[in-house]
Chains A and B, each alone.
Chain A
Amino acid sequence: GAVVSQHPSWVICKSGTSVKIECRSLDFQATTMFWYRQFPKQSLMLMATSNEGSKATYEQGVEKDKFLINHASLTLSTLTVTSAHPEDSSFYICSAAGRRGFRPQHFGDGTRLSIL
């Protein structure tokens, strides 16, 4: 149980393109979803926390107009990197946590974003 699906797994696109990444909880309801960024050989950096039906809470230094997060349902959150530039190239990972008491976060496979 507790499967999180992240799509796509790899994106290569031109500078200026907007890219949408989906994160789905397949067998549980995710009241909270998290979006992370991971640079090579570094730990996870939390970008934002989103609760179903409300606006995402962004970490300091993360541009909310650049990284649009939508968590419209209990099983789906999306991260849209708007007008992506080469410096946005990174590995993006989502995780999901269920209702209170189901604390551990469960992770997607991640999305490798390469902006040319």
Chain B
Amino acid sequence: AQRVTQPEKLLSVFKGAPVELKCNYSYSGSPELFWYVQYSRQRLQLLLRHISRESIKGFTADLNKGETSFHLKKPFAQEEDSAMYYCALSGQGDSNYQLIWGAGTKLIIKP
């Protein structure tokens, strides 16, 4: 079954502490993985995609095919990182670009 699992509904860390938001997936083919972020009262926006291999706002995510994971990490959390984070998956051969969504993790950065 195709599935994206974000085990933590809520993650709360202090400012300056490292952050890791977990994402595991189940997919039979070659997936493309994304992280989307939704700040308070704003639209969903793309944060990272695994094929880009870039760092956005200090966040990185590495696709680990052995562990079927795509965890989102940041070494030093900032208050403005507080938001809702969604991990999503798309099949590379999927011409419809449909995304399979995780349930989301609410990240709260405490001052």
**Interface set of A (CB-CB < 8 Å, partner B):** 32, 34, 42-44, 46, 49, 51, 57, 93, 95, 97, 100, 103-110
**Interface set of B (CB-CB < 8 Å, partner A):** 32, 34, 42-46, 49, 86, 90, 95-99, 101-104
Whether the pair B97, A97 counts as a contact (CB closer than 8 A) is: yes
Whether the pair A108, B104 counts as a contact (CB closer than 8 A) is: no
Which applies to chain A's interface (DSSP): helix, strand, loop or mixed? strand
Whether the pair B44, A93 counts as a contact (CB closer than 8 A) is: yes
Question: Which of B32, B45, B86, B103 makes the CB contact (< 8 A) with A103?
Answer: B32
Whether the pair A44, B49 counts as a contact (CB closer than 8 A) is: no
Whether the pair B97, A105 counts as a contact (CB closer than 8 A) is: yes
15 more A-B residue pairs beyond the given contacts A49-B98, A51-B96, A100-B95, with a C-beta to C-beta distance below 8 A: A32-B97, A34-B98, A43-B101, A43-B103, A44-B44, A44-B86, A44-B101, A46-B98, A93-B43, A95-B44, A97-B97, A106-B46, A107-B44, A108-B43, A110-B43
